Amino acid sequence: MSPFRRPGRPSSARFVFVCAPILMLAAMEAQAQTATLSGVVRDPDQSVVGGATVTLVDGSGKTVQSTLTAATGTYTFSGVASGTYQLMVRKDGFSNVTVSSLNIAAGRSMSQDVALALGNANTTVTVSGNVLGTAENGYFVDRMQTGVMGNAPIVNLPYTVTVLPSEEIANTQARSLRDAIKYLPLVAFQEQQGDQILRPETRGIQGSVAQNTRMDGLAIDITGANAMEQYDQLEVENGLGASMYGPANPSGMFNFVLKRPTDERTNNISLDYDNKTIGTVYGDFGGRLGPHKIFGYRSNLLIGEGASYVDGSFLRRRLAEFAFDVKPTDRTTLDAHYSVYDIVERGYPGWFTYGLNNAAAKVNGVTPTFILPAAPDPTVVGFGQRYAGVNLTTQSASARVLHDFSPDWHAMAGGLWQNVERFISTGVNNITSNTGNYSTSLADSFAPRFGIASDLGYITGTVRKWGITQDVVVGSEGYSLVQYSNGTLPPAANLTLGTASFAAPRVYPFPVHGIYQNSNEYQSAVMHQQGFNLGDMLTLPRHFIVRLAASQDWIGVDNNTYPGQVRASGSNKNGISPSASVLYKPTAATTFYGTFASSLQQGDVAPGGAVNKNQALAPYRSKEWEVGFKSQAAGINLTTDLFRIQRPFANTNAANVFEITGLQVNYGAEIQAQGTLFHRWLVDGGFQALNPRLNDTGIAATNGKRFVGTPDYKTNVLSEYRLPKLANLVVTGNWQFVGRRPQDDANLHYTDGYNTFDFGLRYEERIFGKASIWRVTANNVTNEHYYSTIGPGDITGTNASSNTAFLGLPRVYAASVQFGF
């Protein structure tokens, strides 16, 4: 395949324009490889405190530096070597404060604010420093990657934010995005053409191809292959994020943070086992080289293959990811990365579709759909075919410039290119009766390729004046996404395999006409958006914070026809996506907040079976209201919220035209907790109650009914317990519950809810002086049979009026041993 070329006006001039000032300022800095630590000391009323004694102490108890805060409450320590420190703050009339486990990395400017409590010098309050998401703190991360949301800690953000750190990804042995989402209890997914192709979602609304997903802040395509081993953490902001990230679905923002060069040498090798015979070798290597260690490197290499849980199935995964950086000064970093991930699946269960049962009598004036039977055993041979499956290859490359003008002002500019190749020949089992009969055919009509080029530049800073602190973000972000389609498709008869039933699935011989290959690819749709973002968080006296943000964006789409790739239609729109929040902080560790947001978003693309197939709709707008409470007290990090989201909903109408057919309104409540109890018991879980309705459909039988496939309730709780007399041994368990889900738009039929339970052990030991971690997990130990996804099929590209269902995993086993040296 030829490499993807971004259509339209080149972005190189814009990128150079943003980068040039940063590079010029960077060249003026002196070379060093130490860090700068700064922050602000405030009293319980959030007023700044001058004259406080701030002391930095290293791991041996030695005082490294000491200073007094200025009248503005600020302090700064320069030339700090990398390591773990304690920060001690003393001021008459207040309790002493000790910030423990403060991890400082060389070449970085770090911020650590301190809140004092009224008391006396004989009382000391100990708080945690920058929390990095380890098992010891319940996998909690207190800050997101610095970016368009600014530098504020998560407890001060007026949104529900969750971070899945790399240590949790490793300890739960999550290999794919589908695996990882299980441990984000307020997040779900909609499978598209199998377990590797999905769109993540929050609050009952799924994301788009690229609007809702980022890699280090840069837009990426999510409908390809994703290996979780290459990511340092996955950050999720629930609900509307357009005011910070540009036009997007109201389904949350998902930022995949890559593993980058480490200051200390990292050498880890893992040997993994999954399911029947899947063996994987994975290596993670990083460190710094050169004078003053100005050159950094990180590589993640993986190869694995074998048979999965179905006889005759096959899986192969290959990953090569390389990240480099250079630090010409102590304030400037230039980094780049390239990765390629390839996955092949064969013989896994196909998915089920179920459409209108035209032979049945109408109910309330509408034709009912066929009934989706109870989920069968996914290990039974015949629900998939050993020659059917997917080949997915994702290539990504990015480059960034990061610069710290001062401890308070930071900047970044970067660009990303990505090419996603997809060959999809999965079996589709179309239900034809209420007794479980179905016909099987091979999938077609799905986009064979996506290409995306994205850019991002921002400046963040802090201004303190008149007792008010402003955290300001100014940025520009955009992308151009090309969707390819196959110009020629085979006759439907060439894709048909035969008929079978849930009670007696069939293995079909290799098709007489062979497996259909992608052919005559053309650019069926080109979607582009670019905008400017502005955010301002004002910390006021008397415990109040106000956050305002807005994004002015220009979005457009060009729809092309085949042959000739002639522009048939399109649109160009612009608009503002604003948000406003008010926060009240009774203490530094607790926050009450309320947020309103309005979001412009790209129109959805019509599925392959519609009359207007592959055509993108004009943009539309969503709105959200949210109130919530956050706390980071007593070792438990708690988030609760109530929300209402509304958005136009696109679907295929009775004339087989994809268009806006109603308004989806979702009400809900969420709670999530992370932390440790009694120093040995880790808990990371959450619960969501959701009431999603589709209104203004124009059809009485479907108006106001629940959205297909979305449960009333869902929860996931991960727990770990470190045994008291075997300190190196950890017992792990996970419980997931998903409530009943409507099968059709009229809510005539429901699928029962399900529970799954996982159990595992983790053992840490030094062998010949080298660290090792041994893990073993049994997932779905009760072998529950369930559908992992039920959804409206128009979104996934199947025939009009067909819903889809995907089988969940059976009982499977995973084991790994990791060596560090």
Instruction: Write the pLDDT tens digit of every residue in 160-217.
Output: 999 999 999 999 999 999 999 999 999 999 998 888 999 999 999 988 888 899 999 9
In this predicted structure, what is the pLDDT of residue 29? 39
Examine the pLDDT at 327 and tell me if it is beyond 90: yes
The mean pLDDT value for 50-55 works out to: 94
CB 416 within 8 A of CB 460: no
Q: How far apart are CA 40 and CA 66, in angstroms?
A: 15
The mean pLDDT value for 1-20 works out to: 40
Model confidence over 547-584: pLDDT tens digits?
999 999 999 888 888 887 888 888 888 889 999 999 99
Query: Where does CATH 2.60.40.10 sit in the chain?
Result: 31-130
Q: How far apart are CA 148 and CA 765, in angstroms?
A: 41
In this predicted structure, what is the pLDDT of residue 80? 87
If pLDDT is split at 50, 70 and 90, which confidence band does 22 have? Answer: very low
Residues 6+ apart with CB under 8 A from 349: 310, 378, 383, 384, 807
In this predicted structure, what is the pLDDT of residue 638? 93
CB atoms within 10 A of CB 170: 20
If pLDDT is split at 50, 70 and 90, which confidence band does 28 have? Answer: very low
If pLDDT is split at 50, 70 and 90, which confidence band does 592 have? Answer: very high
Q: Structure tokens of 542?
A: 């008397």
Most confident by average pLDDT, 25-29, 108-112, 134-138, 636-640 = 636-640
Q: Specify the range with the lowest mean pLDDT, choosing from 151-155, 663-667, 787-791, 816-820.
A: 151-155
Q: How far apart are CA 489 and CA 165, in angstroms?
A: 43
CB 664 within 8 A of CB 646: yes
- The fold of the 31-130 domain, in CATH, is Immunoglobulin-like (2.60.40)
What is the DSSP secondary structure assignment for residue 319, as one 8-state letter? E
In this predicted structure, what is the pLDDT of residue 140? 85
In this predicted structure, what is the pLDDT of residue 347? 95
Share of the chain above pLDDT 70, in %: 91
Model confidence over 717-771: pLDDT tens digits?
999 999 988 878 999 999 999 999 999 988 999 999 999 999 999 999 888 888 8
Model confidence over 346-368: pLDDT tens digits?
999 999 999 888 888 888 878 88
In this predicted structure, what is the pLDDT of residue 151? 65
Examine the pLDDT at 676 and tell me if it is beyond 60: yes
Q: Specify the range with the lowest mean pLDDT, choosing from 38-52, 63-77, 379-393, 477-491.
A: 38-52
If pLDDT is split at 50, 70 and 90, which confidence band does 320 have? Answer: very high
Model confidence over 115-132: pLDDT tens digits?
887 776 665 655 545 556
In this predicted structure, what is the pLDDT of residue 408? 83
Nearest to 552 by CA among 112, 246, 336: 246
Q: Specify the range with the lowest mean pLDDT, choosing from 32-36, 79-83, 379-383, 405-409.
A: 32-36
Q: How far apart are CA 541 and CA 469, in angstroms?
A: 9
β-strand pairing of 750-751 with 754-767: unpaired
Examine the pLDDT at 25 and tell me if it is beyond 50: no
The mean pLDDT value for 694-723 works out to: 90
The four Cα atoms 328, 329, 331, 333 give a dihedral, to 10 degrees, of: 10
In this predicted structure, what is the pLDDT of residue 725? 83
In this predicted structure, what is the pLDDT of residue 789? 94
In this predicted structure, what is the pLDDT of residue 392? 96
Return the higher-pLDDT residue of 294 and 620: 294
Report the half-sphere exposure of 108 (CA within 13 A, side-chain side).
13
Residues in the chain: 821
Rg of the chain on CA atoms, in Å: 27
Q: How far apart are CA 207 and CA 647, in angstroms?
A: 12
Model confidence over 289-304: pLDDT tens digits?
988 889 999 999 999 9
What distances in angstroms separate CA 724 from CA 644, 683, 729, 732, one per listed residue? 45, 17, 9, 14
Q: Looking at domain 258-509+533-551+568-820, what is its CATH homologous superfamily?
A: TonB-dependent receptor, beta-barrel domain (2.40.170.20)
Q: Terminal CA-to-CA distance of the chain, rounded, Å? A: 40
Residues 6+ apart with CB under 8 A from 144: 154, 157, 161, 163, 235, 255
Return the higher-pLDDT residue of 81 and 540: 540
The mean pLDDT value for 471-488 works out to: 92
Q: Structure tokens of 670?
A: 């969420």
What distances in angstroms separate CA 381 from CA 313, 391, 505, 510, one per listed residue? 9, 21, 7, 15
In this predicted structure, what is the pLDDT of residue 146? 65
Query: Where does CATH 2.40.170.20 sit in the chain?
Result: 258-509+533-551+568-820
If pLDDT is split at 50, 70 and 90, which confidence band does 653 have? Answer: confident
In this predicted structure, what is the pLDDT of residue 279? 95
Mean pLDDT of the chain: 87
Question: Buried b vs exposed e over 685-717: b needs ≥16 C-beta within 10 Å?
Answer: bbbbbbebbbeebebebbeebbbbbbbbebbbb
